[in-house]
Amino acid sequence: MDLSLFFLGTGGATPSAQRGLPATLIRRGGEQLLVDCGEGTQRQLVRSVGLSDLDCVLITHFHADHWLGLPGMLKSFALREREKPLSIYGPPGLSELMRAISFVYGKLPYPLEIEELEPAHALRRDGYAIVAVPVRHRIAIAYGYVLIEDQRPGHLDAAEAERLGVRPGPDFGRLQRGETVAGVRPEQVMGPPRDGRKVVLTGDTAPCEAVRIAADGADVLVHEATFAKADEKRAQQTLHSTAEQAAAIASAAHVKLLVITHVSGRYAGGQLRDEARAVFAATEAPRDFDAIVVPFPERGGPHLIRWRANAAGAPPTGGPTNAGRGRSAVEGSVRRDQDAEREAGGHLPAGLSTHAQNASAWDGDAVSCA
């Protein structure tokens, strides 16, 4: 079962010429899950892998740079006469937010299923679960998400199975599914169960113990790194993280690979990556349209694939590559935003509760990260 992360937007608060707003496409087998949907996400999809039918959308919190791309994308699905149901998950307050913006996308020809998740809720799917992890940010409730696969059967000792009288072919598959074949029990020829893969995406957060616990032993931790060490005070004020702090969490959690995103426009990604690598060497800082492939452990470790190596195809889903494996290329020059403080935003209809009112303005990073 292939598993990959495709980064549609790696910036935060406001888009730049180099980085779109937060959005990450998780591809597992034939499923496609979108985590956050910043403004312009559907355009990023069209420019890269295509606006294919998503299976679900997971919103981390209600700052507008994490959801403002939803109305346009939902409407585009309608114009394409989508029929397949679409599920959207998020913190409490999601239903109210979706009602408030429904006048934008109107009546849809496909079922739209909205589900609010409670903290630590495990959303069961085929062969894996998604767990909502409360994180620490400047809003009433913000989540990170953990994708954790079910255990896999242990390794089959084919030679021993044949010696005991099991014929190669379908009978091997029956043993792997837990059946007794020709008097041979699975435990006689199967190794211990193998853990599935685990991927953690934090959304926006200050360093917090919940993330460290949730990420323990993860194959990949995608952690925001809005600021450099020199701006740690600003990170504290806005409840974001520095690259060094993200690396400290990765180290404490013993993850295999740290991936830093939500990069402020004042930095080149390479600068933040290098600060993180000084604490945790296995760190990557993807650009928009880069991907992280997450193979099963016996097939190698998670690794970065730069978009140029995959520009003509879908998000990579497994196998070796000679492009950027385990190493980041030097970031190109990144135009820095002006240092002047600025405020962005747009307002939702009046009468919304505290949850939805929190979504009526930009994250505040438009002020704090500029």
85 membership: H or E segment, kind and range: none
Active site residue 65: yes
Structure tokens at 236: 């504290």
Selecting among 36, 55, 65, 231, the annotated active-site residue is: 65
For residues 341, 347, 352, 358, the Cα torsion angle rounded to the nearest 10 degrees is -20
Q: What 3-state DSSP class applies to 308?
A: helix
Residue position matching structure tokens 């959308």: 57
Task: Check: CB of residue 297 under 8 Å from CB of residue 318.
Answer: no
Range list of H helices, the chain: 41-47, 70-79, 94-105, 158-163, 170-176, 186-189, 209-214, 232-238, 243-253, 269-277, 354-357, 365-368
Structure tokens at 323: 């492009």
Residue of 138, 73, 160 lying closest to 108 (CA atoms):
73
Give the number of other Cβ atoms within 10 Å of residue 103's Cβ: 9
- Annotated catalytic residues are 65
